[in-house]
Structure 1
Amino acid sequence: MTASWLQLCLLLLPLLGASRGARNFRQIRNKIHRLRETETFRSFYTRVGFPKGALSYTPPAEGYITQPLDHFNRRNNATYRQRYWINEEFWQRPDGPVFLYIGGESSLSEFSVLSGQHVELAQKHRALLVSLEHRYYGTSINRDGLALEAITFLSSQQALADLAAFHLFISQKFSLSRRNPWICFGGSYPGSLSAWFRLKFPHLVFAAVASSAPVRAELDFTDYNKVVAQSLSDAVIGGSAKCLDAVTRAFRAVDALLQAGNGTQLEKDFSSCAALQGPDDYAQFVSNLADIFMGAVQYNREIQSNNVQQLCRIMSAEGTASVYEALRKVNQVYMDSMGLSCVDNSYESAVKDLSSTEVNPVGVGERQWYYQTCTEFGYYQTCEGSSCPFSPLITLQSQLDLCSRVFRIPVDSVEQSVRFTNEFYGADHPKSSRIIFVNGDIDPWHALSVLKNQSRSEIAIYINGTAHCANMSPSRPDDPPSLREAREEIAVHIADWLKSARRELGGS
């Protein structure tokens, strides 16, 4: 490895950010994306023994495969170039297994084949490591790909067909055979893809690990904020009943000011970039505040200044003038951590952001992902039920309106798409085999995943005290015992299945 390559990595990592005008959860997701890149960067260099070991290191191979834009209509000759990464460092030729890391709703980098539990397992089992960036994300998109007429080829079904074509490409490139069993890995939406790839293409994929995989599509995802409420009161991660009560009362105080038409006070107290212009902006405002807590729960322990313990310490602090003042402080701490001078609460600004067809080759693809929620999954995190600690202004209708405004997709079409997705994949009863579903009890997305063993080889691992995709990160000395045990259980199943593969597929 050259010094210039290292310098380039160090320069690029801090730039994987979001614009100032994004909603708070978009800011959080993009920061998590950057932090995970940095964490895998550090983990990799610790493993190779930087700087001495890195001098002889050969970077993974980056390449592009030409894919049909529409796998299901061969009369459509349009194509796009899809990015992949290959790491041969551990592979034992010719019969070593293949570990596939599946990309999702953000750009992919070389660290997808350099760090993480799947890489640790690949080192143990002498596997070839490959990863594939999801179509329409990162650089795997045509220049006009985000236009309304072009984005219609973005779907999980097309993505699975991409994976099948990639399987053939890699098999031909390395002269693979039945003696090279494939195991796929993914987390969050890619976790669902990992399970679905095994479900729909069992002749290609021998086994799958699906981490934090919301395999059940749901239009009105009310359970998300039920889990957030439970987590804010969970003493294991620094929550408490007092904290949850303080958060609930603080949002009631905000709602009271909105109902009284006192938006000016809220604009000042919570550093709004502009005046709140009516109900749509009010909903955007309370959503931004709720995002701080939702993000802290979903990604607990990943952002030092925005985790459950930190927020509950502020909300429950003795001597605070009021829960409203505590909420103001939470907002300020969040802004400071994100480098924001104000918060964009404009609904029209959100519509403008999602309507932009400019392709961004790094970070999270917000327009693309919202399109997928409108056409496949729903997943709208609402707050109209009594168990939600935030504002009832966070409604299903307010989120469905974006499908209509941005993509011209009517509400009944969204509902039909969600039903079809569950029929097509089997929701949280997929009826497959050799899949490990891994979830943390803090992660709100576990409510849409598989939490109980479905069969002898459809296995559910439920981790106490962990959040979204925690098991996928590189092992660390401060990992809680429950996480270490879960990783060991995953490793045992992978080892057993690879032994079975050698027997079934004719390997040595």
Structure 2
Amino acid sequence: MSSIIVKLFSVIFVLMIFPKWSESVNVYSLETRYIEVPIDHFSATATSKTFNLRYLINSKNYVKGGPIFIYTGGEREITIAAQNTGFLFEISPIFNALIIFVEHRYYGTSLPFGNASFTITENLRYLTTTQVLADFAFLIQELKKNFFPNFSQADTKTEPIIAFGGYYAGMLAAWLRMKYPYSVRAALTSSAPLFYFPGLTSCEGYYQKVTQIFERYGQEKCVKTIKLGWDIIENLAKSKIGMDYISSTWKLCSKLKTAEDVQILIDWLSNIFIELSMANYPYPSEYYNPVPAFPVMVFCDKLNTAYFNDTKGFIQSFANALQIYTNYTGRITCNNIYSKEEDLNEVAWKYQTCTELIMPKCSTAQDMFITNNWVYEQFALDCYKKFGVKPKPNFVFLAYGVNKLKYYTNMLFSSSTIDPASWGVVDLNKADKTDKSLVTYQIMDAPHLMEFRGTNPSDNDYILQARKFYISILKKWLK
């Protein structure tokens, strides 16, 4: 292990110039660095291989002795997290903090086997949360050596390092605090569904939350039209003429040819509704795709005001409304419904949700999606066919004791009433008797991780209050 060194690259990575509507720092300048970490942290063989794990660092407001704020990367490349976490950059002057965004192995450029990371199923076996957390702990150990001159492994104190994360990244931040409590002093998480596992949370809530957002911002009429649309799409797609019409009207890059293609189209459409609900910010954004302010409202307005009296008119009306998500910039020539299948980050995420992160989603008559039960046996069979793996639904219970939080300290679990990702967040009432340093905080009227984003004139009082509360908690942890 001692032979593994930190590789520093003096490449300045300018992450993002915020759109004109933002009042955040205009440019987040981060230096891209890499650290050489073991592919298998738990192997003691002399032939153990390593790979370069990417992380981003901003020391603009850092003062020697100040804390380190480390954002644990999740299921997307780390630059996206940095682009959408302006809150850390805004509070770093308050705390004289160093900011680190560390990438999750198998995402972005942090590929253990380079281009072969996904070509051989065997190479995916190191994509586990335990290996990921060990990556983070390994990096933190090196950061301590570099930024805390008096650091000693023999010392019993915990350096002022706070882990942050949202959704899956929030789960990792919490698990990092649970698994390596000496690495980070505390964890501040948002919409981290630590309870979204079989036996702790029911499967229908996620899609119901998406539906509630569409009802609130798009009216009940929009939800009924979407619900009606599934039968229309399926019936029209039973013939080649119908599939050709949908393909041309919706400007698909590849024509629908089989029933499997139609299912992929339905999944693609369902995913658009989910992403619209997650990115329903009161200002234009690019969290998934470029969209206008309140994209759910804009989409539903187009659909609610459309006139159609037959099946083809319905398909055309849907196509027009979808463009606020699929082609808001006007630069897209066709829609690739297979993009998720081709995205390596998506492949990595599907693998994880087939092995350790078993978070069931089902739809019922109470939501706007096609009714679909979640059956473990079928789910397990699909995972085996795709990756040759068997799901481990009880893994997180054994590894992290997520429902036994009384054994842990210094964690904040926040959630939002209108964020689908908040389904399955920590409920301290279900988590056994807890320590007072464990806190839950609910934000009213906040889209997905909005309080983590940079300050904006459209921020409501709930968002502003949440950020103030976070700062107060951080001061307490760092005192």
Asked if TM exceeds 0.5, the reply is yes
Q: Of 449, 452, 469, which aligns to 2:425?
A: 449
Moved more, 148-157 or 447-456: 447-456
The answer to whether structure 1 residue 436 and structure 2 residue 406 are counterparts is: no
8 Å CA contact retained: 2:21, 2:456: no
Mapping 1:77-96, distance limit 5 Å = 77-93=48-64, 95-96=65-66
Does the aligned pair in 2 maintain the 1:210–1:436 contact within 8 Å?
A: yes
Q: Distance in 1 between matches of 2:169 and 2:239?
A: 44
Q: 1:129 aligns with which of 89, 93, 99?
A: 99
CA–CA distance in structure 1, aligned partners of residues 222 and 21 of structure 2? 34
The aligned runs of 1:322-471 (5 Å cut-off) are 325-337=316-328, 339-345=331-337, 353=342, 365-379=345-359, 381-383=361-363, 385-392=364-371, 403-409=383-389, 413-414=390-391, 417-427=392-402, 430-431=405-406, 432-452=408-428, 455=434, 456-471=436-451
User: Which residue does the alignment assign to 2:269?
Assistant: 289
Deviation at 1:67, TM superposition (A): 0.9
TM-score (norm 2): 0.80
- Cα distance change, pair 318–342 in 1 and its aligned pair in 2 (3 A): closer
Q: In the superposition, relative to structure 1, how do residues 330 and 401 fare at CA in structure 2: closer, same or farther (>3 Å)? A: farther
How many angstroms apart in 1 are the aligned matches of 2:225 and 2:81? Answer: 40
Q: Give the whole-Å Cα distance in 1 for the aligned partners of 2:257 and 2:388.
A: 24
Q: Percent identity?
A: 25
Q: Go from structure 1 to structure 2 and tell me whether the alpha carbon gap of 1:304 and 1:287 turns closer, same or farther (over 3 Å shift).
A: same
**Structure 2 counterpart of 1:308:** 296
Q: Distance in 1 between matches of 2:255 and 2:380?
A: 24
Q: Which moved more, 1:191-200 or 1:438-447?
A: 438-447
Distance 1:457 1:69 in 2: 34
State how 1:8-407 maps to structure 2 within 5 Å: 9=14, 37-39=16-18, 47=25, 60-75=30-45, 77-93=48-64, 95-109=65-79, 112=82, 116-141=86-111, 142-143=113-114, 144-146=116-118, 147-174=120-147, 175=149, 177=151, 178=157, 180-218=159-197, 221-234=203-216, 238-258=217-237, 262-301=242-281, 302=285, 303-305=290-292, 307-317=295-305, 319=307, 321=309, 325-337=316-328, 339-345=331-337, 353=342, 365-379=345-359, 381-383=361-363, 385-392=364-371, 403-407=383-387
TM-score normalised to the size of structure 1? 0.76
Query: In structure 2, how many angstroms separate the alpha carbons of the residues matched to 1:459 and 1:173?
Result: 31
The residue type paired with residue 393 of structure 2 is V
Please state whether the residue corresponding to 2:77 is helix, strand or coil.
coil
Could you say which residue in structure 1 is the equivalent of 2:470? Answer: 490
RCO higher in 1 or 2 (8 Å CA, sep ≥ 6)?
1
In structure 2, relative to structure 1, the CA distance for the partners of 1:400 and 1:315 (3 Å cut) is farther
The 1:117/1:217 distance shift into structure 2, 3 A limit, reads same
Q: Which has the higher helix share?
A: 1
Letter in structure 2 aligned against 1:229: T
Q: 1:229 to 1:491 in 2, by over 3 A?
A: same
C-alpha offsets along residues 214-240 of structure 1, whole Å, 9 cap, x if unaligned? 223447943221111111112xxx232
Asked whether the 8 Å contact 2:299–2:322 carries over to 1, the reply is no
Equivalent residues, number? 437
- 1:286–1:393 CA contact under 8 A, matched in 2: no
Distance in 2 separating the partners of 1:350 and 1:486: 33
Please give the per-residue CA displacement for 1:262-303, whole angstroms capped at 9, x wherever unaligned. Answer: 434433443333443333222111112222211100121234
- Give the distance between the partners of 2:19 and 2:400, measured in 1 at CA: 32
Q: Is the 8 A contact 2:22 2:456 kept in 1?
A: no
Distance 1:474 1:378, change over 3 A: same
**What's the CA shift for 1:393?**
6.8
1:210 deviation in Å?
Answer: 1.0
CA distance in 1, matches of 2:80, 2:207: 34
Structure 2: which amino acid aligns with 1:448?
A: G
CA deviation after TM superposition for structure 1 residue 90, in Å? 2.0
Amino acid paired to 2:127: L
Alignment root-mean-square deviation, CA: 3.3
Quote the offset at 1:323 in angstroms. 5.5
